Amino acid sequence: MGWFERIFGAITGDIPNKPSDDTVQQAAANTSLPPERIGITGEYDESGLAKRVALAFDEDPELDDIGSLWVAQKGGIVILKGKVPSPGFLEKAVNIAEFQPGTISVDTSQVTIG
């Protein structure tokens, strides 16, 4: 099980590849949706940004799903909460989340290291 499936549940059929930044920006421009609300297939989704972050985590071979870190969002703020094994792991997760279209900031105040 990967990040996406653990946090958001399985999707009927295959989990799609993470949409490219261009796809998200184009969907936002064409539908006037805020980029943080663009879902994994370009649809409106309240948790679109968090879902795209989880898919990006799944795509990074260095960021194995540790089962103790969760991804949520409040508007354009990505919220990471739980426990990570090292500062480097958290830094990697934050870097990935920061570069998703629609991310304003990443809140790690609910993350412990150890």
Domain residue ranges of the chain, discontinuous segments joined by +:
3-113
The predicted-structure confidence for 50-81, as pLDDT tens digits, reads as follows 999 999 999 998 898 899 999 999 999 999 99
Helix, strand, or coil here: 71?
A: strand
pTM of the model: 0.85
Query: What is the Cα–Cα distance from 33 to 98, expressed in whole angstroms?
Result: 19
Q: Provide the angle, in degrees to the nearest 10, between the axes of the packed helices 87-98 and 48-59.
A: 130
Please give the angle made by the CA atoms of 56, 98 and 69, to the nearest 5 degrees. 60
Helix, strand, or coil here: 11?
A: coil
pLDDT for the residue numbered 19: 65
Decide the pairing of beta strands 105-113 and 77-84: parallel
According to DSSP, residue 97 is labeled H
Neighbouring-strand partners of residue 71:
80
pLDDT band at 11 (very low <50, low <70, confident <90, very high): low
